[in-house]
A and B are shown apart, each in its own frame.
Chain A
Amino acid sequence: MNLLLDGLSNILQWQVLLVLVVGTVLGIAIGSLPGLTSTMGVAVILPVTFGMEPVTGILLLVGVYFGSVYGGSLTAILLNTPGTPASAATAIDGYALAKKGLAHKALTVSTLSSAIGGMISVIVLILVAPQLANFALKFSAPESFALALFGLSIISSLAGKSVVKGIITGFIGLLIATIGLDPMVGIPRFTFDKMELTGGINFIPVMIGLFAASEAFKSMEDIFSTRKLSFTVEKVKLKWSEFKTLIGTILRSSGIGTFIGMIPGAGADISAFVAYNEAKRFSKNKEGFGKGELKGVAAPESANNSVTGGAMIPLLTLGIPGDAVTAVLLGALMVQGLQPGPMLFEANGPIVYTLFIGMLLANLLILIIGLPGIKLFTKILYVPKAVLTPIILILCTVGAYSLGNSYFDVLVMFAAGVIGYFMQRYDFPASPLILGLILGPMMESNLRRSLVMSEGSISIFFTRPISAILLIIAIITLFAPLFNKLMKRGKGSESHKVQS
């Protein structure tokens, strides 16, 4: 406790606070622009921190990291353009809400959920990090495979009007993910001797195209449509009674996010989809999802922000980075002479606790900057579509390009935009495709890695408790919709019998 208080007094210096504010604002801006990911934001800012004090430097990066995860939701809700992959799930219901004129409400929910989710995960990090870290270590290839399979089982609940079409786009995602060098033996697959394809198809340009560019093409149509589909922004504020119904979802999703965050190799994007699915599973109003359900915003947003604290658990306690962002942070810590691992807490206790307080503050800042900002953010909806659409198309292009300074990525974005437009037109949902792209490589390489480890025996998946449990949940999730239908039909035929 003393350490926490010391940390608080260390933080309350204007330089540190200022840096934290600057970092969070920068992060929000980076996160909201399509193509600029959290990893990229943190990596670009990293050299700036070399000359800083350890705490100041790391907190600048923490601000950028946390802010960017939140920032992705702004454009996802307002423009159907997820700024980062972590917000792809938010776009589903967030944009539906915005279309109903409830952008203000949706943004309030996403801001609150992001901040609360982030704080919960930091509190978990402070209280039980070492215990959880050892659990995270139990995750290896078989567990990761089971987790990926579980993630994929969500597809059935992401599918819109047609389940078959949802599964189809999911499998298209899986198939696209196999393009490029094979993850295990490094032979080229479906590369057609094109050098650009050896690296595989980057899923971020695909996501930008499917969500943002296709939406831009569609809004060109709306401009000419005789039926006026103009956006209204009703100043409907979130009511306390509405927020109360979200608390359960936020808490559950924060738990999911923290858990997935600490598992090596699984990050914010996956957690958002899983939380979305669980929110739907627990909801009485399942039909409302996809059409503008507040829980559909609260769940992915609290989950993806709580990944931040979760990812810090193995990083700080074991020195193991769970994803790309924390790998950059690991470098940043080491440059500052802070070697993450069990020794960090003993050798640099005060600094660690100052960082903890800083992380809590960063989440608080999301609230302080985000809530008053909502009015400003929703202004974008007043911009006429004729003006906004070309700007969005340009941003899609520059966003796809800046990922890897690659013209090829821009072409991928464009192709995805065109295909996405027709998919949307004919009821093929985009989000299962993104999920397949994210989880495909994780599932395949871990399946094959497990079999290498077990020398070919599939018993490795069932003899390890975590993997066995995850597989069972995956199977339940996969067949639950089918089972529900059968139950209903069973009941229906029974009552029929009684009648006849």
Chain B
Amino acid sequence: MKAHTFIKTKEGREIRMKKSMKHVGIFLIAMLVFAMAGCSNDTSNGTEKKAAGKKSDYPTKPITLIAPSSAGGGTDATARALTADIEKYLGQSVGVVNKPGGSGSVGMTEGANAKPDGYTVTMVFVELTMYKHLGLSPLGHDQFKPIGLINLDPAALTVPKDAPYDTLEEFIAYAKEHPGKVKVGNSGTGSIWHIAAESISKKADVKFNHVPFEGAAQAVTALVGGHVDAVTVSPAEVKAQLDAGKVKTLAVMSDSRSDIIPDVPTFKEAGLDVDPVGTWRGLTVPKDTPDDIVAKLEDAFMKAAKDEKFTKFMASSGLGIELKDSKEFKKFMDDNYKQFGEILSDIGLSK
């Protein structure tokens, strides 16, 4: 009975425990052995083995999800919505902890340096593949083990409704006639939306006047107020103004059309062959986390991302869902890292 109360701890999954009382005894002995082995061996080996021993049991306590942004942003909202009902799939609750600062590098660095036991998951976003290029932080995506990609929103070229151009082609022609005069609002120099605008200007060989704002929302406000001529932000960020008929989106920078604005062509369809640029959010754990724990998390989070409540939330917030499993997500980040490195060094922002 002692063993029972010991295992029960505070989480109180009694029923399962009672059924497997016999296993509990064996498990305890195994734990003891592993713990002793852990003490005698070097530490990293010890945690690995301990983790392996927990295999059938993980997770036994609530998990922390680091959102490297302040409360209230898109990252925060996605994290909270995704974990709201995750107990169903994971058997444990996930608490969101905001760690803002340094364009996300503060929270992500902490996530990368957390104990690789699967109890600290980090929501990373596109900036992770840019820190090194921009010289903002030595943190890179290789310091994480990916769980999966959840959300992807492409850049979309949006202009005021009364602008003298209706297609991407006309826009570029206009920009060629007025070099350096077309003001394109972005969410900060070196930000993903700045990269998007630079990608267009490089491919189409035109010169823009890039105007950085504190964030995409501020850039869109300036667009509606007529203070800039175009913005390159996500469809979600201009959707309200699109619905209100104040702006028009000329093209989206993705391989396929956006679900939010299915009538708008992709850049390729509109005649300009640029690589897709977009913002995304995914989940990661520290790179030494054992694979079986990653698999469990991957399974649970992918299921949670398909949960109807979550998909409804994302759709109504205008956020695109794009699921990639651990492997695909890794390749995706590798590609991003290369692509952004090239663009950033072209515009002289790379360190």
* Interface residues of A, Cβ cutoff 8 Å to B: 39-40, 42-44, 46-47, 50, 137-141, 181, 183-186, 188, 195-196, 198-200, 264-265, 314, 318-321, 324-325, 327-328, 330-331, 334-337, 339-343, 404-406, 445, 449, 452-453, 455
Contact = CB atoms under 8 A, between A and B. Distances in A.
23 contacts: A39-B72, A43-B76, A44-B71, A181-B103, A186-B349, A195-B106, A195-B137, A196-B106, A198-B101, A198-B102, A199-B102, A264-B218, A265-B214, A318-B224, A320-B224, A325-B72, A327-B73, A335-B317, A341-B240, A405-B98, A445-B214, A449-B211, A453-B183
Interface string B65-85: 000001111101100110010
Contacts of B137: 195, 198
B20 interface: no
Contact of A186 (B74, B76, B190, B224): B190
Nearest to B215: A327
Nearest to B236: A334
A320 B80 CA distance: 23
Q: Which of A188, A265, A328, A335 has most chain B Cβ within 10 Å?
A: A335
Contact of A324 (B72, B221, B309): B72
A203 B269 CA distance: 47
Contacts of A198: 101-103, 105-106, 136-137
Nearest to B181: A455
A185 B217 CA distance: 18
Give the secondary structure class of B's interface.
mixed
Given A199-B100, A199-B102, A334-B317, 19 more contacts: A40-B72, A43-B72, A137-B221, A181-B102, A183-B214, A184-B188, A184-B212, A198-B102, A199-B106, A200-B101, A265-B214, A314-B221, A318-B241, A320-B217, A320-B221, A339-B240, A343-B243, A449-B211, A452-B211
Contacts of B188: 183-184, 186
Contact of A331 (B77, B84, B100): B77
B316 interface: yes
B189 A184 contact: yes
Given A39-B72, A196-B106, A138 B318 contact: no
A140 B222 contact: yes
B217 A404 contact: no
A50 B318 CA distance: 15
Q: Which of A39, A337, A404 has most chain B Cβ within 10 Å?
A: A404
Contacts of B224: 137, 318, 320
Contacts of A47: 80-81, 84
A318 B244 contact: yes
A337 B74 CA distance: 17
B304 interface: no
B326 interface: no
Contacts of B27: none
B165 interface: no
B318 A334 contact: yes
A196 B105 CA distance: 9
Contacts of B183: 453
A397 B244 CA distance: 45
A449 B213 contact: yes
Contacts of B109: 195
Nearest to A317: B244
Q: Which of A185, A319, A340 has most chain B Cβ within 10 Å?
A: A319
